[in-house]
Structure 1
Amino acid sequence: MTTHPQIPPQDTDGPGPWWREAVLYQIYPRSFADSNGDGIGDLRGIISRLDHLRDGTPSSLGVDALWLSPFYPSPQADFGYDISDYQDVDPVYGTLADFDELVVEAHRRGLRVVVDLVMNHTSTEHPWFTESRSSRANPKRNWYIWADPAPDGGPPNNWLSAFEKCGPAWTLDPATGQYYLHSFTPGQPDLNWREPAVREAMRKVWRFWLDRGVDGFRADVAHRLLKDERLRDNPPELAPARRHVSVPGMRQRQLDLPEVHDVLRELREVLDSYPGLDGSLAEGRFVLGEVPISDDSRLADYFGGEGMHTVFHIAFWEQPWEGAAFRRTVDGLLAAMRPGSWPTYALATHDISRTVSRFGGWGPARAAAVIMLTLPGTPCVYYGEEIGMADAPPPAGLERDVDGRDGQRTPMQWDASGKGFGTGTPWLAPGPDAGRANVEAQRDDSESMLGLYRRLIRYRGGSAALRRGGYRSLDSSGDSYVYLRQAAGELLLVAVNFRHVPAQVEITGVDLPAAGRIELSTHAGRAGATVPLGPLALGPLEAVVVRLADGVPTDPGATAAPSKGPAA
């Protein structure tokens, strides 16, 4: 039997930090809901649809917090990730008053609000950069990273933009004769975080949004904030890499440097000085990091200590549709991370192809939803995943995004007509699956994708084992992934069949009762059934949550306080 990592339950003597038990929901504002008919989603559109996320009844999705992708003023070189003013709202999305109303309305429903924090770079149209490029003697020159050309007149070193279409990570500014660094598009010059004035200016940005009531930040590309001070070339083995690669004994010069953690500790100190919704510092604000690092041991350095509270487990959404792959990547991070750390899981984002498209249909997407919402960590649902939206890339020649991500950013499909999004022509065409993958069609169907997400989120909210319980993965036959979640008085077994045919799953290496009760299944008619566990019969692509007899001896970690019991 292979030994795999296990984690103990959280201490449940009292309420823990809200984010550890929350279900997050990502909104791409441009594509969620359009209130004024211009074809672009906006803040008032989001306000009008908050009840879909949480209205206090089982008819809503039941999530706990929303994460807003950038809505700041921007020339849209990278659709909002090129910010020209950190302390305002782009007029296409509304006003600061609209944002304030959104926070109030979200909080009234028990929803926290998390906003994107883009610290690595600004827009070339930001006043800071306008000053910086005006002359080499300008006081803000050192706010960005400038360098003389190489002897041949080319870029200062061999660093590449993360976007293939953008070539090198350097652009020459003819007026001053130097190159500026941009990790992404030439419209996104990198800030120089070694400059104290930059750090002070960004602290003001953090406080600006915290003072307006936001409950936390999602830190964009948090691993890129500091670059090699000497701007040395990457080693030849790493030179072709546009994003993080892991090579033993080597480190890329423009990302994942140890000094990054100094900045993240500063951010954490500011966050820790702000109370949460209940007025206590213990309730607090939080920061979720985007750290696209493939090496678990390095990723583990970014969360659970004095820096960010949690990070996306990037490898989770990079796996093939294989049970062993999912088990390996989940267990790998659990083994590497600090005790008490808490990762965040997502199946898709604005940067990642949608689950239905990536895994080939609703069957795998339904099973994947069960995995994401039953693992030990904070799940994050990307808008439209709850109705099974697929990628819908535009026809050749009509692409809008510099990195080919239009397909996963199409407008939310509220109904088959598209008018639920807004009355104007949407900025991207809805997907061809809108007739089936829409909220209106699934709203009253308990077995739909939306029905499944509602059941999963509601069940999770009532289950101490899923919110904060221990975890232990189990050896099992076939193409499956099986694990236990446990709190005192509540022992759940989660089992997923990754094959498109029925399976008899043998579970070994642990003493289990002869049978258990199915609490949730991706297949209709199975909930409530008592099923034998040796072996466990699963249908094609079926995922189940099985309740085992309370108090059965097992050891996925220490026990926790008694559960209230899952919601029906």
Structure 2
Amino acid sequence: MTHDEWWRDAVLYQIYPRSFADSDGDGIGDLPGIVKHLDHLNDGTPGSLGVDAVWLSPFYPSPQADFGYDISDHQAVDPVFGTLADFDELVEQAHARGIRVIVDLVMNHTAVTHPWFTESRSDRASAKRDWYIWADPAPDGGPPNNWLSAFERCGPAWTLDQATGQYYLHSFTPGQPDLNWRNPRVRDAMRAVWRFWLDRGVDGFRIDVAHRLMKDPELRDNPPEVAHARRHVSHPSVRQRNLDLPEVHDILRDLRRTLGEYGDRFALGEVPISDDARLVEYFGGDGMQTAFHMAYWEQPWHGEAFRRTVDGLAGRMRPDALPTYALATHDISRTVTRYGSPERARVAAMMTLTLRGVPCVYYGEEIGMRDAPPPAGRELDVDGRDGTRVPMHWDADGTGFTTGEPWLPPGPDLAEVNVARQARSPESLLHLYRRLVWYRRGSQALRRGTYRSLDAPGDAFVYLRSAPGERLLVALNFTDRPLAVAPGGLPPSGRVELSTRPDRETGRQASLRPLTLAPDEGVIVRLGDS
């Protein structure tokens, strides 16, 4: 592994700053609050989660049309989250614990209040007019073409600016006008943003909607076959004209070259493309180092579905490429909610942390937090994602998050599902996460080894992770009944290293002819030297 490939060994942890920890009692999480809880993430001992890097969702100044993804200043901290000095302190304290810091890089759009857009919309003759995508109305006075916003509630992807008589493009809310990346001055301005944060010590970027940065220069309609689509859709013969264009890779290569000047920085792409043949173009080459495997978190609770999805991407990736695996984010419903039980969340945790890839854990997943949609009248998010963003459950009464009124109410299971309670229980999900992460840190096979799935009867997902001197069998039971699996070509027995079930005795030999899994159980079995 070269110096600039630390991410290959890493476990990432996503923090949604508004919801992680509030230091000043205003009910909104902030940067000093994150600093106070860094030891939960990694204090250098197995009593912490042991993660290697944190990804911070946006903390920049914003009018909050899309909760921070509408940025009005790319080189500052919103006062609700703190100051640049607070950010510098966070980086320093994280680095002191061996935790890298990844920040969200939103390049597709800005806020309508950003000075660039304020100037752009001031006059058709503005020097920054072509920093954004403007177009005359269609002959009927309507939007210039049939492109749609990614958010259903926002309708078309165009809003008419009455003062100048033209429409501006917004892939998301009308408060998020799209930048024109075909303009060299936009590229220069955004390079300055990259360097601003890299010079402050950040270790890389999570690239928001990396596939959307370039649009058809002629602004042609999407073909009828895909005109209904608000987000990426796979089609055998046509492409959408407002995303996933080949030219986007020029921007990502430019970013990668800039990162390379800083030695050990990396880029993680959000590329909402479920078509593996197109997704693999975005990572593992000279562009971004890694990207989320979107199809992974779209699967039903079925072992064969996960095997087919993981194997499908593995068969298409560049040989040395690694995807990033996550089962929940600020956009994606939490694992316990989606799959229905804490027991399944334990199996999901073992799967995500043992596949050949970069695992990413969303805050609160380590204790099994559920979605908690707010009461009627308190909905805030334009796309209905409030329930995935509730404050972190630090303790049974919520004061671990804030001493004030939280910006969103906590989940109804706060008293039972919280860090303080689970930290005292060796049978808790938090304890399992800690064991899995720390076991992975010490395993050559899990961090850098090969992956090969094995045939197994029933609804199981079974695979080998292998490195010189270490072979591990991972067997996951996706059913609520006992399941016997006996993959061929293995030794008659192996030592059970870890189980998702607290009642399984570990550190002892177990038969592999067959290996009997309890309901909703996953195990890691050491097979011996290879």
Question: TM-score scaled to structure 1, two decimals?
Answer: 0.92
User: Which position in structure 1 is the counterpart of 2:233?
Assistant: 245
Alpha-carbon distance in 2 for matches of 1:240, 1:33: 40
Instruction: Give matches, 1:151-190, under 5 Å.
Output: 151-190=139-178
Instruction: Give the alignment partner of residue 383 of structure 2, picking from 403, 411, 427.
Output: 403
1:62 alignment partner, one of 33, 50, 53: 50
Q: SS of the residue aligned with 2:361?
A: strand
Aligned length, in residue pairs:
529
Give the aligned partner of residue 492 of structure 2. 514
Instruction: Name the residue aligned to 2:22.
Output: 34
**What amino acid sits opposite 1:305 in the alignment?**
G
CA–CA distance in structure 2, aligned partners of residues 549 and 202 of structure 1: 51
Paired position in structure 2 for 1:475: 455
Residue in 1 that maps onto 2:129: 141
* Alignment counterpart, residue 542 of structure 1, candidates 501, 521, 526: 521
Q: Which amino acid in structure 2 is aligned with residue 36 of structure 1? A: D
2:10/2:51 contact within 8 Å kept: yes
Shift of residue 437, structure 1, vs aligned partner: 1.2
SS at match of 1:546: strand
**Distance in 2 between residues matched to 1:142 and 1:17, nearest whole Å:** 38
- What CA distance in whole angstroms lies between the structure 1 residues aligned with 2:201 and 2:97? 14
Q: CA deviation at 1:396?
A: 2.5
Q: Where do residues 61-460 of structure 1 align in structure 2 (5 Å cutoff)? A: 61-274=49-262, 281=263, 284-460=264-440
Q: Is the 8 A contact 2:4 2:265 kept in 1?
A: no
Whole-Å separation in 1 of the counterparts to 2:508 and 2:17: 42
What is the RMSD of the two structures over their aligned residues, measured on CA atoms? 0.9
* Helix, strand or coil at the partner of 1:507: coil
Match of 2:206, SS state, is: strand
Q: Relative contact order: is structure 1 or structure 2 higher (C-alpha 8 Å, sep ≥ 6)?
A: 1
Q: Partners in 1 of 2:468 and 2:344 — Cα distance?
A: 31
2:224 partner SS:
coil
Partner of 1:531: 510
Shift of 1:398: 1.8
Hey, what's the Cα distance between the residues in 2 that align with 1:309 and 1:435? 40
2:6 match:
18
What is the distance in 1 between the residues matched to 2:508 and 2:27?
47
CA drift of 1:92 comes to 0.2
Distance 1:155 1:407 in 2: 33
How many Å apart are 1:16 and its aligned residue?
6.9
What amino acid does structure 1 have at the position aligned with 2:508? A
One-letter amino acid of the counterpart of residue 288, structure 2: M
Checking the alignment, whether the CA contact within 8 Å between 1:120 and 1:225 is kept in structure 2 is: yes
SS of the residue corresponding to residue 430 of structure 1 reads coil
Q: Does 1:495 align with 2:475?
A: yes
Residue 215 of structure 1 and its aligned partner are, at CA, apart by 0.3
Shift of 1:525: 3.5
Which blocks of at least 5 consecutive residues in structure 2 are unaligned? none
Shift of 1:549: 2.2
What is the identity, as a one-letter code, of the residue corresponding to 2:278?
R
Q: Which deviates more from structure 2 when the two are superposed, residues 396-405 or residues 110-119?
A: 396-405
Single out whichever of 369-378 and 529-538 deviates more from structure 2. 529-538
Structure 2 distance, partners of 1:416, 1:495, is: 34
Equivalent residue number for residue 32 of structure 2 = 44
SS where residue 347 of structure 2 aligns?
A: helix
Report deviation, 1:397. 2.7
TM-aligned CA deviation for residue 534 of structure 1? 1.4
Any runs of at least 4 consecutive aligned residues in structure 1 with deviations exceeding 2 A, and if so which? none
Q: CA deviation at 1:531?
A: 1.1
Structure 1, 526-535 or 31-40: larger mean CA deviation: 526-535
Counterparts of 1:549 and 1:97, CA distance in 2: 50
Q: Which residues of 2 match residues 543-562 of structure 1 at below 5 A?
A: 543-551=522-530
Secondary structure, in 3 states, of the residue corresponding to 1:82? coil
Residues 342-382 of structure 1: per-residue CA shift (max 9 Å, x gap): 11101100000000000001011100000000000110000
Confirm or deny: 8 A CA contact 1:62 1:457 kept in the other structure: yes
Distance between the aligned counterparts of 1:113 and 1:17, measured in 2?
Answer: 15
Partner-residue secondary structure (3-state), 1:364: helix
How many percent identity over aligned positions? 72
Q: Which amino acid is 2:480 matched to?
A: H
- Counterpart among 496, 501, 504 of residue 484 in structure 2: 504
Displacement of 1:15 after TM fit? 6.4
Would you say the 8 A contact 1:513–1:549 is kept in 2? no
Question: Residues 145-165 of structure 1: CA distance to partner in whole angstroms, max 9, x if unpaired?
Answer: 000000110000000000000
Q: Which runs of 5 or more residues in structure 1 are unaligned? A: 1-11, 275-280, 552-568
CA distance in 1, matches of 2:419, 2:187: 43
Tell me which amino acid in the other structure corresponds to 1:70: P
Conserved 8 A contact 1:54-1:62: yes
1:456-504 Cα offsets, whole Å, 9 max, x none, are: 0000000000000011000000000000000011000000000011111
Q: CA deviation at 1:166?
A: 0.2
Q: State the SS of the aligned residue for 1:251.
A: coil
Report the Cα distance in structure 2 between the residues aligned to 1:297 and 1:66, rounded to whole angstroms. Answer: 29
In the alignment, the residues of structure 1 paired with residue 3 and residue 119 of structure 2 have an alpha-carbon distance, to the nearest angstrom, of 48
- Paired with 1:31 and 1:179, the residues of 2 have a C-alpha distance of 35
Alignment partners' CA distance in 2, 1:430 and 1:251: 42
Q: Which letter maps to 2:360?
A: C
